[in-house]
A = this chain, B = another copy of it.
Amino acid sequence: MSGIVLGDNQYGKAETHVVRVTRDAAAHEIKDLNVSVALAGDFADAHLTGDNSKVVPTDTQKDTVFAFAADGIGEIEDFATRLARHFVDEFETVLRARVSIEEFSWSRLAGHAFERTGPATRLTTVTCTSEKSSVVSGITGLVLLKTTDSEFHGYIKDRYTTLPETRDRIMATSLTARWLYDSGDVDWGASFADASRLLKETFAEHYSLSLQQTLYAMGSAVLEACGEIDEIRLSMPNKHHFTVDLKPFGLENPQEVFYAADRPYGLIEGTAKRQGVPDRPEAW
Protein backbone atom coordinates (compact mmCIF):
# COMPACT_ATOMS: atom_id res chain seq x y z
CA MET A 1 0.00 0.00 0.00
CA SER A 2 2.64 2.47 -1.03
CA GLY A 3 1.84 6.06 -0.31
CA ILE A 4 -0.95 5.32 2.13
CA VAL A 5 -0.29 5.97 5.78
CA LEU A 6 -2.03 5.66 9.11
CA GLY A 7 -3.37 8.95 10.45
CA ASP A 8 -5.01 9.88 13.73
CA ASN A 9 -6.42 6.98 15.64
CA GLN A 10 -7.67 6.10 19.08
CA TYR A 11 -9.63 3.28 20.64
CA GLY A 12 -11.19 2.35 23.91
CA LYS A 13 -14.18 0.99 25.77
CA ALA A 14 -17.21 3.21 25.51
CA GLU A 15 -20.19 3.44 27.84
CA THR A 16 -19.30 1.28 30.79
CA HIS A 17 -22.31 1.91 32.98
CA VAL A 18 -21.17 1.60 36.59
CA VAL A 19 -23.21 2.25 39.72
CA ARG A 20 -21.26 2.67 42.96
CA VAL A 21 -23.02 2.39 46.30
CA THR A 22 -21.43 3.73 49.46
CA ARG A 23 -22.88 1.76 52.32
CA ASP A 24 -20.98 2.91 55.36
CA ALA A 25 -23.43 5.60 56.44
CA ALA A 26 -26.90 5.14 57.81
CA ALA A 27 -28.16 6.42 54.49
CA HIS A 28 -26.45 4.93 51.44
CA GLU A 29 -25.04 7.12 48.69
CA ILE A 30 -25.02 6.29 44.98
CA LYS A 31 -23.00 7.42 42.00
CA ASP A 32 -24.37 6.46 38.59
CA LEU A 33 -21.83 6.89 35.80
CA ASN A 34 -21.44 6.11 32.15
CA VAL A 35 -17.68 5.95 31.52
CA SER A 36 -15.92 6.02 28.13
CA VAL A 37 -12.18 5.55 27.67
CA ALA A 38 -10.19 6.44 24.53
CA LEU A 39 -6.48 5.75 24.20
CA ALA A 40 -4.05 7.09 21.60
CA GLY A 41 -0.39 6.17 21.21
CA ASP A 42 1.89 3.67 19.62
CA PHE A 43 -0.74 1.52 17.97
CA ALA A 44 0.44 1.45 14.37
CA ASP A 45 1.33 -2.26 14.53
CA ALA A 46 -2.20 -3.26 15.39
CA HIS A 47 -3.41 -1.38 12.35
CA LEU A 48 -0.73 -2.41 9.92
CA THR A 49 -0.03 -6.04 10.79
CA GLY A 50 -2.55 -7.04 13.44
CA ASP A 51 0.22 -7.29 16.03
CA ASN A 52 -1.54 -6.49 19.31
CA SER A 53 1.50 -6.59 21.56
CA LYS A 54 1.16 -2.89 22.39
CA VAL A 55 -2.61 -2.94 22.78
CA VAL A 56 -4.45 -2.68 26.10
CA PRO A 57 -7.71 -4.52 25.37
CA THR A 58 -10.89 -2.53 25.74
CA ASP A 59 -12.10 -5.32 27.98
CA THR A 60 -9.25 -4.57 30.37
CA GLN A 61 -10.22 -0.91 30.30
CA LYS A 62 -13.72 -1.85 31.40
CA ASP A 63 -12.33 -4.07 34.16
CA THR A 64 -10.17 -1.17 35.29
CA VAL A 65 -13.16 1.13 35.55
CA PHE A 66 -14.91 -1.38 37.81
CA ALA A 67 -11.80 -2.06 39.88
CA PHE A 68 -11.11 1.63 40.41
CA ALA A 69 -14.73 2.15 41.39
CA ALA A 70 -14.11 -0.15 44.33
CA ASP A 71 -11.96 2.59 45.86
CA GLY A 72 -14.86 5.02 45.62
CA ILE A 73 -15.75 7.57 42.97
CA GLY A 74 -15.65 11.01 44.54
CA GLU A 75 -16.13 13.77 41.99
CA ILE A 76 -16.21 12.53 38.40
CA GLU A 77 -13.32 14.80 37.47
CA ASP A 78 -11.15 13.05 40.06
CA PHE A 79 -12.30 9.59 39.05
CA ALA A 80 -11.63 10.33 35.37
CA THR A 81 -8.22 11.74 36.23
CA ARG A 82 -7.26 8.65 38.23
CA LEU A 83 -8.28 6.44 35.34
CA ALA A 84 -6.65 8.49 32.59
CA ARG A 85 -3.45 8.89 34.59
CA HIS A 86 -3.38 5.14 35.20
CA PHE A 87 -3.51 4.28 31.51
CA VAL A 88 -0.76 6.75 30.63
CA ASP A 89 1.49 5.83 33.53
CA GLU A 90 1.01 2.08 33.37
CA PHE A 91 1.44 1.49 29.65
CA GLU A 92 4.36 2.83 27.68
CA THR A 93 2.41 2.62 24.47
CA VAL A 94 -0.39 4.85 25.70
CA LEU A 95 0.58 8.43 24.96
CA ARG A 96 -2.79 9.99 25.58
CA ALA A 97 -5.77 8.80 27.58
CA ARG A 98 -9.12 10.50 27.47
CA VAL A 99 -11.82 9.53 29.93
CA SER A 100 -15.31 10.94 29.48
CA ILE A 101 -18.03 10.47 32.06
CA GLU A 102 -21.72 11.18 32.14
CA GLU A 103 -23.14 11.36 35.65
CA PHE A 104 -26.85 10.77 36.08
CA SER A 105 -28.51 12.50 39.00
CA TRP A 106 -30.69 10.95 41.67
CA SER A 107 -32.51 12.45 44.61
CA ARG A 108 -33.15 10.57 47.81
CA LEU A 109 -36.69 9.40 48.52
CA ALA A 110 -35.88 7.91 51.91
CA GLY A 111 -32.96 6.13 53.59
CA HIS A 112 -31.83 3.81 50.81
CA ALA A 113 -34.23 4.68 48.00
CA PHE A 114 -33.72 7.13 45.18
CA GLU A 115 -35.58 8.74 42.31
CA ARG A 116 -33.84 9.60 39.08
CA THR A 117 -33.92 13.29 38.32
CA GLY A 118 -33.14 14.93 35.09
CA PRO A 119 -33.13 15.25 32.20
CA ALA A 120 -29.89 17.22 32.66
CA THR A 121 -26.69 15.20 32.97
CA ARG A 122 -23.30 16.24 34.32
CA LEU A 123 -20.28 15.68 32.08
CA THR A 124 -16.54 15.56 32.25
CA THR A 125 -13.71 14.77 29.87
CA VAL A 126 -10.21 14.42 31.28
CA THR A 127 -7.29 14.16 28.87
CA CYS A 128 -3.86 13.08 30.09
CA THR A 129 -0.48 12.71 28.48
CA SER A 130 2.68 11.93 30.37
CA GLU A 131 3.34 15.64 30.74
CA LYS A 132 0.05 17.32 31.24
CA SER A 133 -3.63 16.94 31.72
CA SER A 134 -6.75 18.94 31.07
CA VAL A 135 -10.25 18.88 32.45
CA VAL A 136 -13.35 19.89 30.50
CA SER A 137 -16.61 19.58 32.40
CA GLY A 138 -20.14 20.45 31.52
CA ILE A 139 -23.83 19.78 31.45
CA THR A 140 -26.10 18.41 28.73
CA GLY A 141 -29.83 17.98 28.30
CA LEU A 142 -30.65 21.08 30.31
CA VAL A 143 -33.99 22.05 28.78
CA LEU A 144 -34.87 25.69 29.32
CA LEU A 145 -37.79 27.83 28.18
CA LYS A 146 -38.86 31.39 28.71
CA THR A 147 -42.26 32.65 27.74
CA THR A 148 -41.31 36.23 27.07
CA ASP A 149 -38.40 38.73 27.13
CA SER A 150 -37.17 37.41 23.80
CA GLU A 151 -37.22 39.41 20.56
CA PHE A 152 -35.87 38.75 17.09
CA HIS A 153 -35.74 41.44 14.42
CA GLY A 154 -33.40 43.62 12.42
CA TYR A 155 -31.93 40.69 10.52
CA ILE A 156 -31.01 40.50 6.84
CA LYS A 157 -33.94 40.04 4.46
CA ASP A 158 -33.42 38.52 1.05
CA ARG A 159 -35.70 36.96 -1.54
CA TYR A 160 -36.04 33.81 0.54
CA THR A 161 -36.93 35.52 3.80
CA THR A 162 -40.50 35.01 4.97
CA LEU A 163 -39.99 35.13 8.74
CA PRO A 164 -41.84 38.01 10.35
CA GLU A 165 -39.97 40.07 12.92
CA THR A 166 -41.11 39.60 16.47
CA ARG A 167 -40.90 41.58 19.71
CA ASP A 168 -42.12 38.69 21.85
CA ARG A 169 -41.56 35.01 21.36
CA ILE A 170 -40.96 31.84 23.31
CA MET A 171 -37.29 30.97 23.57
CA ALA A 172 -36.54 27.33 24.31
CA THR A 173 -33.44 25.21 24.12
CA SER A 174 -31.82 22.01 25.25
CA LEU A 175 -28.47 23.30 26.42
CA THR A 176 -25.13 21.58 26.21
CA ALA A 177 -22.34 23.59 27.83
CA ARG A 178 -18.77 22.45 28.31
CA TRP A 179 -16.07 24.44 30.02
CA LEU A 180 -12.30 24.15 30.28
CA TYR A 181 -10.57 24.43 33.64
CA ASP A 182 -7.30 26.26 34.06
CA SER A 183 -5.86 23.53 36.28
CA GLY A 184 -6.63 20.26 37.98
CA ASP A 185 -6.88 21.82 41.40
CA VAL A 186 -10.52 22.79 41.64
CA ASP A 187 -13.47 22.13 43.92
CA TRP A 188 -15.26 20.30 41.14
CA GLY A 189 -18.61 19.92 42.79
CA ALA A 190 -18.83 23.55 43.81
CA SER A 191 -17.68 24.71 40.41
CA PHE A 192 -20.26 22.57 38.63
CA ALA A 193 -22.98 23.88 40.90
CA ASP A 194 -21.92 27.48 40.32
CA ALA A 195 -21.66 27.16 36.56
CA SER A 196 -24.98 25.35 36.24
CA ARG A 197 -26.74 27.87 38.41
CA LEU A 198 -25.30 30.79 36.48
CA LEU A 199 -26.31 29.31 33.15
CA LYS A 200 -29.89 28.95 34.35
CA GLU A 201 -30.05 32.31 36.07
CA THR A 202 -28.66 34.15 33.10
CA PHE A 203 -31.04 32.40 30.73
CA ALA A 204 -33.89 33.40 33.02
CA GLU A 205 -32.90 36.99 33.59
CA HIS A 206 -31.36 38.03 30.30
CA TYR A 207 -33.56 40.11 28.02
CA SER A 208 -32.85 38.56 24.65
CA LEU A 209 -32.53 40.21 21.27
CA SER A 210 -31.12 37.03 19.71
CA LEU A 211 -30.34 33.55 20.88
CA GLN A 212 -26.70 34.33 20.15
CA GLN A 213 -26.81 37.20 22.62
CA THR A 214 -28.33 35.01 25.31
CA LEU A 215 -25.75 32.31 24.66
CA TYR A 216 -22.87 34.72 25.01
CA ALA A 217 -24.37 36.29 28.13
CA MET A 218 -24.66 32.84 29.69
CA GLY A 219 -21.08 31.96 28.83
CA SER A 220 -19.74 35.30 30.02
CA ALA A 221 -21.59 35.03 33.31
CA VAL A 222 -19.84 31.76 34.02
CA LEU A 223 -16.43 33.16 33.15
CA GLU A 224 -16.97 36.27 35.24
CA ALA A 225 -17.88 34.35 38.36
CA CYS A 226 -15.74 31.25 37.99
CA GLY A 227 -12.11 32.26 37.85
CA GLU A 228 -11.07 28.62 37.49
CA ILE A 229 -12.73 28.36 34.07
CA ASP A 230 -10.84 29.60 31.00
CA GLU A 231 -13.27 28.90 28.22
CA ILE A 232 -16.86 27.77 27.78
CA ARG A 233 -18.54 26.38 24.69
CA LEU A 234 -22.31 26.35 24.38
CA SER A 235 -24.55 24.53 21.96
CA MET A 236 -28.13 25.74 21.97
CA PRO A 237 -30.69 24.32 19.60
CA ASN A 238 -33.45 26.84 19.05
CA LYS A 239 -36.46 24.67 19.77
CA HIS A 240 -39.07 26.55 17.83
CA HIS A 241 -42.46 27.24 19.37
CA PHE A 242 -44.69 28.60 16.63
CA THR A 243 -47.66 30.78 17.52
CA VAL A 244 -50.67 28.91 16.13
CA ASP A 245 -52.87 30.92 13.79
CA LEU A 246 -56.29 30.66 15.40
CA LYS A 247 -57.97 33.29 13.19
CA PRO A 248 -59.61 30.65 10.97
CA PHE A 249 -61.51 29.60 14.08
CA GLY A 250 -62.48 33.16 15.00
CA LEU A 251 -60.05 33.23 17.90
CA GLU A 252 -57.28 35.55 18.99
CA ASN A 253 -53.92 34.15 19.95
CA PRO A 254 -52.10 36.71 22.07
CA GLN A 255 -48.98 34.55 22.38
CA GLU A 256 -50.78 31.86 24.33
CA VAL A 257 -51.09 28.76 22.13
CA PHE A 258 -47.93 27.37 20.56
CA TYR A 259 -47.02 24.42 18.43
CA ALA A 260 -43.72 22.90 19.62
CA ALA A 261 -41.89 21.67 16.52
CA ASP A 262 -39.30 18.89 16.41
CA ARG A 263 -37.43 19.61 13.21
CA PRO A 264 -35.93 21.63 11.67
CA TYR A 265 -34.45 23.60 14.52
CA GLY A 266 -31.94 26.40 14.73
CA LEU A 267 -28.59 25.34 16.10
CA ILE A 268 -26.56 28.10 17.71
CA GLU A 269 -23.04 27.30 18.85
CA GLY A 270 -20.62 29.72 20.45
CA THR A 271 -17.68 30.20 22.75
CA ALA A 272 -16.75 32.66 25.45
CA LYS A 273 -13.15 32.69 26.61
CA ARG A 274 -10.61 34.71 28.53
CA GLN A 275 -8.53 37.04 26.43
CA GLY A 276 -4.93 36.04 26.14
CA VAL A 277 -5.31 32.51 27.45
CA PRO A 278 -3.79 30.14 24.91
CA ASP A 279 -6.12 27.74 23.10
CA ARG A 280 -5.92 24.11 24.18
CA PRO A 281 -7.69 22.25 21.38
CA GLU A 282 -6.44 18.89 22.66
CA ALA A 283 -8.61 19.22 25.75
CA TRP A 284 -12.00 19.05 24.02
Contacts and interface: CB of A to CB of B under 8 A. Distances in A.
A147 B28 contact: yes
A48 interface: yes
A36 B113 contact: no
B244 A66 contact: yes
Copies assembled: 4
A216 to B, nearest CB: 4
A126 interface: no
A251 B69 CA distance: 11
A251 B156 contact: no
A54 B35 CA distance: 39
B60 A160 contact: yes
A5 to B, nearest CB: 5
Residue among A113, A205, A258, A275 with the highest chain B CB neighbour number at 10 A: A113
Contacts of A254: 23
B119 A118 contact: yes
A76 interface: no
Given A145-B113, A147-B30, A156-B53, A257 B47 contact: no
Given A21-B255, A275-B3, A161 B59 contact: yes
A186 interface: no
Nearest to A108: B204
Interface in A100-128: 106, 109-119
Contacts of A99: none
Nearest to A164: B59
Contacts of A278: none
Interface residues of A, number: 139
A238 interface: yes
A64 interface: yes
Contact of A203 (B49, B62, B64, B109): B109
Contacts of A275: 3-5
B1 A220 contact: yes
A272 interface: yes
Contacts of A143: 115-116
A62 to B, nearest CB: 6
Given A204-B109, A265-B13, A160 B52 contact: no
Nearest to A163: B59
Contacts of A252: 70
Given A263-B15, A264-B62, A213 B46 contact: yes
Given A30-B145, A59-B162, A70-B252, 11 more contacts: A4-B220, A7-B270, A8-B270, A19-B258, A28-B147, A28-B148, A47-B213, A52-B154, A109-B144, A113-B146, A115-B142
